[in-house]
A = this chain, B = another copy of it.
């Protein structure tokens, strides 16, 4: 493993998929000069709920979860982040402390872009700030949909929906069935918004019904049509 510590943005493998593909060359060079790239081990925390933000993080490689911790200490995962995505912008833009904790789901490589630079570029680059608005709108849309489902759908449907969501976010392995992320049952439950035991029980049911296959933390989606039907997503 020889990940360069500060790879150039111009060669970044995510430069066409990330928000910065909209930035102009000049700004890209500025970011390149100021950014700091670091490696994080699985389980390591990138930033903590309650801390003050000093910049944004751009995922070069890896997978991250963003989670709130409720009053009783149980965590609620609010977003899954992948390579090419940025995180930490919400706190920066609203000028408040982080409302979520970012934890690496696997070994990850993440670039840090200082607050002032990011905000300056955002002010000067209209297409970049438009892209930022698009991202925010899209996240907001997803969040509102999740609110409706949490309020109205039973756990079983939400679990099926969550499996589909994980697939959409992180994709499948080469076999075309296995989710390419390893989550604990507790993390799945915290994504669905239910108790760990309920998540486990329903996963077993799904397995018994032939919808999925379980092997440790590996989850294979077998009967996609049935999963979609269970999630109650026909459109």
Q: Which residues of A contact B (CB under 8 A)?
A: 68, 70-72, 74, 76, 78, 89-91, 93-96, 99-100, 122-124, 126-127, 129-130, 132-134, 136-141, 143-153, 193-194, 232
Contacts and interface: CB of A to CB of B under 8 A. Distances in A.
A151 B152 contact: no
Contacts of A152: 70-72, 74, 76, 193
Q: For the complex of A and B, list the 5 residue pairs with the smallest distance between their C-beta atoms, beginning with the closest.
A: A151-B193, A143-B143, A136-B136, A94-B137, A93-B137
16 contacts: A70-B149, A71-B152, A76-B147, A76-B152, A94-B134, A95-B134, A122-B133, A123-B126, A126-B126, A129-B129, A132-B133, A133-B133, A133-B136, A136-B136, A139-B140, A151-B193
Nearest to A96: B141
Contacts of A129: 126, 129-130, 133
Contacts of A130: 122-123, 129
A153 to B, nearest CB: 8
B99 A144 contact: yes
Contacts of A194: 151
Copies in the complex: 2
Given A68-B148, A99-B144, 8 more contacts: A70-B153, A71-B152, A74-B152, A93-B134, A139-B140, A150-B151, A151-B193, A151-B194
Nearest to A89: B137
Contacts of A149: 70
A143 to B, nearest CB: 4
Contact of A78 (B122, B139, B144): B144
A120 to B, nearest CB: 10
A1 B212 CA distance: 63
A71 B124 CA distance: 43
A147 B71 contact: no
Contact of A147 (B93, B137, B153, B193): B193
Nearest to A129: B129
A117 to B, nearest CB: 15
Which one of A91, A96, A134, A147 has the greatest number of beta carbons of chain B within 10 Å?
A147
B126 A124 contact: yes
Contacts of A150: 147, 150-151, 193
A148 to B, nearest CB: 4
